[in-house]
Chains A and B, each alone.
Chain A
Amino acid sequence: MMHGGGFGGGMGGGSMGGGGMGRMGRRLGMDDEGELGSVYNHRVVTRLLSYVLPHKGLAIMSLLTMLVTTFTIVAQPWIIKLAIDELVDTGEQVNAGEQATVGALAFVMVLFAVNMGVRFVSNYMYQVSLARVSQGVLYSLRTRIFGHLQRLSPSFYDRNEVGRIMSRGQNDVNQLQEFLNLVVSSLADVLSLGGIVIALFLLDVQLALITLTVIPVLIGIMLIWQKIAWGTFMRVRQAISVVNANLQENISGIRVVQSLNREETNMERFDEVNNGHLEANLHASRLSAALMPTVEILTAIAIGLVVIFGGRQAINGTMEVSVIVAFVLYVQRFFDPIRNLTMQYTQFQRAMTSGVRIFGLLDTPVEVKDKEDAVDLPPVKGAITLEGIRFHYVPEIEVVKGIDLTIQPGETVAFVGQTGAGKTTLVALLNRFYDVTEGRITIDGYDIRDVTQDSLARQTAMVLQEPFLFSGSISENIAYNKTNASHDEVVAAAKTVGAHDFITKMPDGYDTLLKERGQNLSVGQRQLLSFARALIADPAILILDEATANIDSYSESVIQRAMTEVFHGRTSIVIAHRLSTIRNADKIVMLEHGEILEQGTHSELMNADGAYAKLYNTYFADAALAQIPTEAAPEG
């Protein structure tokens, strides 16, 4: 793992202006976007190779055809040289007035044609098999990453922004794919370089030596250039991630932006980062373009050398003209691979960094995971116990401070208490989104850490405080918890929560497509759908986290009536702030600051005249106060 500059500067902190450093350092060691590391990282390469292995056949094929292609490319000037030899002979014969033919040339031309044909076929095969290998690798990398993301616990998502994880799954994966192509094409470059050098020496050792004197110079220049360019390219990468973060934030928060009149400020900020990106790029391109004239001039020097020395020998008659031509052709081809290789240097670094990040993500330990010997939770009756559980999100701040609670099968238990008391946290623990730091939670006697998460999830269903819907049809959303549900089941669930009426009124009924997060529904309607989604799988334990907060009491009472039939004999846990919702619960648990203050039925608690009674009275105090002027009117 590379040391990371904390992502804050790059992605998250980009546009909100300062303040980014206040975050805790509990983030993944995901490196800064702009970080560039070494060109070669053994671990990354070996792991990447393991992804290539399944496509061994294609990979080998690609390498072989690449070899052939390179060979044909190197061979072409040679063939042209042969042709020129023939032509010069012919020219001399013509000059001498002899009978000239093109017979020998025909043979060379056949060679030429064969070379050409072979190259066509091999190049095609090479490129296509390469594309297939790299797409294959890309595919399995994506699958692996996505799969791992499915197993990482919610706490990972508390700390890492979706946009950032997305960039792992997309940009970095693309970088690695690019890298595969690069490796092969660089290999081709190196091979053709080698081939050309060999060809040069075969043609004429002395001239070859003279020509190659420019190489050390070129390499020297490249190395210096590389040093200078390094930081520049890093800045370019940072700049683009800042731009993207800014965009993402503004698009997803557009409603807030418009309602708070932030357009101007945001536009200015965006222009700033956009401009920064432009500057960084221009700076980089000034540098990278500088390579061009250097290479051109060096090529010219090499060609000049060939013309001078080769020319002298040719005049003296110790060298064929065709050799000079071939030399010039080779020299022209020589610099391309060298230039490619330098350009690819940064690309290599980038790919390595991406590789480090991707494998870093894949190696992120799953905090909540199944035990080795985890069993499937058998169908439960729904007895739940919490035994002395404690929990904190951030080390200093304990959110659950020792809670003991027993819930009988079939009971309806309500959690009430101030906001931030830890109600949502408790049900998250019950679902094993997080593991408790102390104590244990059992269901029908099974410690939830001893059973598989999957089997646990299948026995419980939850309506989350924030109703999240997927883009897709309404029926797909309702059937999310039971993908093989029939249409009738979907309709039944919708009817139970009273959503059927509004759904049928929509233009396409159950097939109406929801936009992102269900944006085209009212919030209460979203809540109804997420309610229906929880009901359809017929779970043994139902958890409702303020499931009816955005729904009026009348609609709520309709749901409750329908639910009592459907849900007879099941355990349910209800969190609500509207006390009328939970008045009839079998047990009301009053929480404060992560502790249980009191528990009992409504009338028990009212009689105890404790915290619950006080809350209850406050609840109605507003109503009461509103009545004072009109009814009791005790002058103030």
Chain B
Amino acid sequence: MFIRILGMAWRHPRHMVAAYVALIGSSAFALMVPRLLGTAVDEVLGGTEFNAMLKLAGLILLVNALRGVFAYGQTYLSEWTGQLVAYDMRNAIFGKLQRLSFSYHDERQTGDQMSRATADVEAIRNFVQGGLLRAVQILMLVFGAAGLLFMTNWRLALIGLAFVPIVAYRSAVVSLSLRQIWNYVLKTTGKMTTVMQENLSGVRVVRAFGAQEYEVEKFDVVIKDLSESHIRVSRIQVANSSFIQLVFAAATGGIIWFGGQEIVNGRLTPGELTQFIFYLGIIQGPVRMSGMIINNFSRALSAGQRIFEVVDAPSPVQELPDATVMPRVRGHVKFENVSFAYGDEPVLRDVSLEAQPGQVVALLGMPGSGKTTVVHLIPRFYEASEGKITLDGTDIRDVTLESLRSNVGIAMQDVFLFSATIADNIAYGKPGSTREDVERASRIAQLHDYVADLPDGYETWVGERGITLSGGQRQRLAIARTILLDPPILVLDDSTSSIDAGTEHLLRLALESVMKGRTTFVIAHRLSTVRHADQILVLDNGSIAEKGTHNELVQQKGLYRQLYELQLLPDEPTIDKTIDKLTARSQKGEARS
């Protein structure tokens, strides 16, 4: 994991190298200061000239200024690197999430994915920018100081640096346990997000059932847990950093104590001892920070794991390396013995069907019989586990996803609208469409009259998921959005369930002109909608139970016949009357012309 994070940073070698150079520079100059100060002390004690002092002061100034410049470079470059890594990661996650097919997203929570792309990326950035570079700086300072100290007095140096292994060991231990807690904290945070998000998105359900108290309790459990975990983290972290400081102070004490002995033994001058103390002063800051870095590090490891889980996820639906571009098809759709399962339980069993170009195919069946699944296989939202699906004779697995999907327009059962204007929503699949195109599609979908009456017309903002629209309006918007794409294969998945019969009738008439030359799949429960189809398929538990035209199916004693009896039969007289009326009207019309 660590290596991979490093790898992400190494994508920007120039920035990294420059940052390290700046870091080496600033550390080197930082290391020079104590030496100068030590010399100053000895010179004062030795009673030198004032001029020498001036020179020393000037040198200190110069060295510090240079150090400042390098420090600037270091800070800026490391932030730059960190931001670049974050940028790359966000793009990678976003790009990947866009390409991962439905079954990946079925399994996951929006909130969780969000927190990976935000909080986790931030954790990595923090680490690259702070930890990765800082850690090197600490090592440099510690080893640099160690080297210089050894040159002066190795005994003291040993004492002064005795704390390094202790700190290193402790840090390793602590980072392990922190990592576990961080994993837990990240997970719990995700849970909190989910509870809150669902509560807010499902606000009407919560209200309708007066379940506020229940929700509050649910939330309470999670946030209590979260805050306890956070306290645990800071306990460990603070104990660790206090401990590091303690050890460090002990080292300072040790140096003074044994330094005293050395002075007594004449092996050390007070100036050199001062130098020691200043050296420790220089590494004090970084050492203090090492506690934080360890925390960052642990967190980044957990975060990295979560991010790479997304980035590495194999998409369940993949393009072949030699996939070709599918041209605009005529609309011959064929399923050959197709089977499919979301999990272990098969959902489609050996489905075969064929739609000729221009035909209207209706799918019917009980909830969960597999209608939506059938149509979702055509644009390869999911991959059939057995059998073969062809469009105009081409296996859909042989072509690129984009070209395939531009041939299939699907108005989904579960309408999702973006919180944007009506116009933007209609043109979503074809950004840059003209207003005329948008209006035309909206007219066909029988939405135009409603929109035209609104004060802001097509610029009216629809709330999140289209909350400010009625169910039927949402569905018609989704139909308009699909029609605008002008696909040779059109799928309407229960797209008129919330539309009244009158409007639906108009919609169907308007669609008829649009459907010409298009293969259309219609899923519906109202027989008035499906009756006119060229082919009606009744699905039962994942296989095709009945197949034929309305008249053929009414003769059989299957589910279709039952539906027919429930919906239409009691009104056969009414229908007859209607037919009479219509016939009369059309005859009148003929007579007139």
User: Could you give 18 example pairs across A and B, Cβ below 8 Å?
Assistant: A17-B431, A22-B456, A256-B418, A258-B381, A261-B402, A263-B99, A263-B402, A270-B94, A288-B75, A296-B68, A321-B270, A454-B210, A480-B211, A522-B372, A555-B367, A577-B500, A578-B525, A579-B501
| Alpha-carbon distance between A555 and B72 when the two chains are bound, in angstroms | 72
Does A80 touch B at the CB level, under 8 Å?
yes
Distance from A279 Cβ to chain B, minimum over Cβ atoms (Å): 9
| Alpha-carbon distance between A583 and B569 when the two chains are bound, in angstroms | 13
In the complex, chain A residues whose CB is within 8 Å of the CB of B428: 256, 260, 262
A465 touches B199 (CB 8 A): no
B40 touches A546 (CB 8 A): no
Contact with A324, one of B44, B416, B459 (Cβ below 8 angstroms): B44
B532 touches A123 (CB 8 A): no
**Interface-lining segment among A351-359, A404-412, A413-421, A435-443:** A413-421
Contact with A578, one of B230, B482, B531, B567 (Cβ below 8 angstroms): B567
Top 6 A-B residue pairs of the complex, sorted by shortest distance between their CB atoms: A419-B472, A524-B367, A457-B210, A300-B64, A296-B68, A260-B429
A552 touches B97 (CB 8 A): no
Does B249 touch A at the CB level, under 8 Å?
yes
Q: Given A161-B419, A250-B98, A457-B210, do A332 and B281 touch, yes or no (CB 8 Å)?
A: yes
B208 touches A464 (CB 8 A): yes
B527 touches A623 (CB 8 A): yes
| Alpha-carbon distance between A628 and B460 when the two chains are bound, in angstroms | 42
Distance from A146 Cβ to chain B, minimum over Cβ atoms (Å): 5
A623 touches B368 (CB 8 A): no
Q: Given A19-B424, A621-B582, A634-B586, do A481 and B211 touch, yes or no (CB 8 Å)?
A: yes
Does B246 touch A at the CB level, under 8 Å?
yes
Q: Within B497-536, which residues are at the interface with A (CB < 8 Å)?
A: 497-505, 508, 525-529, 531-532
In the complex, chain B residues whose CB is within 8 Å of the CB of A307: 37, 40, 53, 56-57, 60
Distance from B408 Cβ to chain A, minimum over Cβ atoms (Å): 8
B263 touches A577 (CB 8 A): no
Does A290 touch B at the CB level, under 8 Å?
yes
**Interface hub of A105, A116, A550, A635 (most chain B Cβ within 10 A):** A550
B579 touches A624 (CB 8 A): yes
A76 touches B211 (CB 8 A): no
B238 touches A622 (CB 8 A): no
In the complex, chain B residues whose CB is within 8 Å of the CB of A102: 257, 260-261, 264
A166 touches B200 (CB 8 A): yes
Tally inter-chain residue pairs, CB-CB below 8 A.
561
B464 touches A161 (CB 8 A): yes
| Alpha-carbon distance between A161 and B371 when the two chains are bound, in angstroms | 32
A623 touches B196 (CB 8 A): no
In the complex, chain B residues whose CB is within 8 Å of the CB of A263: 98-99, 402
In the complex, chain B residues whose CB is within 8 Å of the CB of A281: 79, 83
| Alpha-carbon distance between A471 and B190 when the two chains are bound, in angstroms | 13
In the complex, chain A residues whose CB is within 8 Å of the CB of B470: 419-420, 424
Proximity string of chain B (35-78) to chain A, C-beta cutoff 8 Å, 1 when within and 0 when not: 00100110111011010011011101101110111011001100
B45 touches A88 (CB 8 A): yes
Q: Within B185-230, which residues are at the interface with A (CB < 8 Å)?
A: 192-194, 196-212, 214-216, 219-220, 223-224, 227-228, 230
Q: Which residue of A lies closest to B529 (CB)?
A: A622
In the complex, chain A residues whose CB is within 8 Å of the CB of B423: 19
Chain B residue total in the interface (Cβ 8 A): 197
Distance from B98 Cβ to chain A, minimum over Cβ atoms (Å): 5
Chain A residue total in the interface (Cβ 8 A): 203
| Alpha-carbon distance between A7 and B285 when the two chains are bound, in angstroms | 41
Does A286 touch B at the CB level, under 8 Å?
yes
Contact with B468, one of A146, A158, A553, A623 (Cβ below 8 angstroms): A158
**Interface-lining segment among A191-199, A205-213, A214-222, A500-508:** A500-508
Contact with A615, one of B204, B381, B500 (Cβ below 8 angstroms): B500
Distance from B298 Cβ to chain A, minimum over Cβ atoms (Å): 17
**Interface-lining segment among A33-41, A49-57, A135-143:** A135-143
**Interface-lining segment among B2-10, B84-92, B164-172, B391-399:** B84-92
Contact with B528, one of A321, A465, A622 (Cβ below 8 angstroms): A622
Distance from B255 Cβ to chain A, minimum over Cβ atoms (Å): 10
Q: Within A362-387, which residues are at the interface with B (CB < 8 Å)?
A: none
In the complex, chain B residues whose CB is within 8 Å of the CB of A2: none
**Interface hub of A91, A159, A290, A624 (most chain B Cβ within 10 A):** A624
In the complex, chain A residues whose CB is within 8 Å of the CB of B414: 255, 523
| Alpha-carbon distance between A5 and B555 when the two chains are bound, in angstroms | 66
B471 touches A465 (CB 8 A): yes
Does A361 touch B at the CB level, under 8 Å?
no
A293 touches B71 (CB 8 A): yes
Contact with B209, one of A299, A416, A481 (Cβ below 8 angstroms): A481
B418 touches A16 (CB 8 A): yes
Contact with A158, one of B58, B420, B463 (Cβ below 8 angstroms): B463
Q: Given A304-B61, A626-B531, A634-B586, do A285 and B260 touch, yes or no (CB 8 Å)?
A: no
| Alpha-carbon distance between A28 and B471 when the two chains are bound, in angstroms | 25
Contact with B231, one of A135, A278, A578 (Cβ below 8 angstroms): A135
A314 touches B464 (CB 8 A): no
In the complex, chain A residues whose CB is within 8 Å of the CB of B223: 139, 142-143
Distance from A129 Cβ to chain B, minimum over Cβ atoms (Å): 10
Contact with A618, one of B454, B459, B468, B502 (Cβ below 8 angstroms): B502
Contact with B106, one of A142, A289, A520, A624 (Cβ below 8 angstroms): A520
Contact with B97, one of A250, A299, A622 (Cβ below 8 angstroms): A250
A116 touches B80 (CB 8 A): no
Contact with A109, one of B101, B253, B263, B471 (Cβ below 8 angstroms): B253
